[in-house]
């Protein structure tokens, strides 16, 4: 199908907004790596120097984030526009958002999807849920693991920031009919999935909310 956020422990609070920007700050390449992972004990974003001011040679290799080179120029622009943006926290939050949106879609939770997606994405999810309901199908899917979440693109068309993340994940999928009979799938054999999601935010907004703006398959 065609965002900074805290980890899963704060999912409940996260649903009360749209996407809280502890996502750091669209749905698909390479330049010198310059971004650090967030400190494990850091619970909130910190004000950071623009990426362009940080010499790449001072950053340990193990601290390099999964960011493709084509995205770094856009991330610099976003950091300069929003000094509280943190790419490491963004990636961790994007993983949580990925699971939350999938769970809401599988359960047919339209209210949750409305808080997490823009209108176009929500309408696509809503249409798919409606079609599934009309067929009398029930999904019992499970996100087994996210193998990787990688920022592959980023841009700032002031004041709108967009970041595209590729998710490589394993999902167990099971479809049942309205009577509970299995139609297809398996909960023991996970399927590899590759999704490209784009998140957007108005950097002038004080609320710092991010919204799922576009989804696609890789």
For residue range 123-155, list pLDDT tens digits in order: 999 999 999 999 999 999 999 999 999 999 999
What is the C-alpha to C-alpha distance for residues 9 and 126, in angstroms, rounded to an integer?
27
What is the C-alpha to C-alpha distance for residues 209 and 37, in angstroms, rounded to an integer?
21
Q: What is the pLDDT of residue 188?
A: 86
159: cis peptide before it, omega within 30°? yes
What is the C-alpha to C-alpha distance for residues 124 and 186, in angstroms, rounded to an integer?
25
Residue given tokens 């965002």 in the structure block: 3
The CATH class, in words, for 8-217 is: alpha beta
**So where are the chain's domains?**
8-217
What is the C-alpha to C-alpha distance for residues 210 and 3, in angstroms, rounded to an integer?
6
Per DSSP, what are the bridge partners of residue 167?
A: 149, 195
Residues of the chain with pLDDT under 70: 1-63
pTM of the model: 0.73
Q: Taking Cα atoms as reference points, which of 175, 100, 108, 112 lies closest to residue 143? A: 100
Handedness of CA 116, 117, 122, 128 (dihedral sign): negative
Q: What is the pLDDT of residue 208?
A: 75
Helix (H, G, I), strand (E, B) or coil at 73: helix
Q: What is the pLDDT of residue 3?
A: 39
Query: Where does residue 40 rank: exposed (0-12), middle (13-18), buried (19+ CB within 10 A)?
Result: exposed
């Amino acid at each position: 199908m065609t965002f900074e956020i805290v980890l899963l422990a704060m999912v409940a609070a996260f649903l009360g907004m749209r996407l809280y920007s502890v996502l750091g700050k669209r749905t698909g390449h390479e330049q010198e790596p310059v971004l650090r992972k967030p400190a494990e004990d850091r619970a909130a974003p910190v004000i950071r120097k623009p990426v362009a001011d940080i010499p790449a040679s001072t950053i340990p290799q193990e601290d390099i984030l999964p960011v493709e080179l084509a995205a770094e120029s856009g991330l610099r622009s976003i950091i300069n526009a929003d000094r509280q943006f943190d790419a490491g926290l963004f990636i961790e939050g994007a993983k949580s958002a990925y699971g939350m949106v999938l769970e809401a879609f599988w359960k047919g939770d339209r209210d949750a999807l409305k808080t997490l997606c823009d209108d176009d994405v929500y309408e696509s999810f809503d249409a798919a849920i409606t079609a599934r309901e009309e067929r009398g199908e029930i999904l019992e899917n499970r996100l087994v693991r996210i193998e990787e979440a990688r920022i592959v693109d980023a841009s700032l068309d002031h004041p709108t920031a967009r970041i595209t993340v590729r998710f490589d994940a394993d999902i167990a999928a099971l479809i049942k009919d309205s009577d509970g009979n299995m139609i297809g799938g398996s909960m023991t054999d996970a399927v590899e999935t590759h999704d490209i999601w784009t998140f957007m935010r108005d950097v002038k907004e004080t609320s710092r909310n991010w919204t799922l703006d576009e989804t696609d398959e890789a």
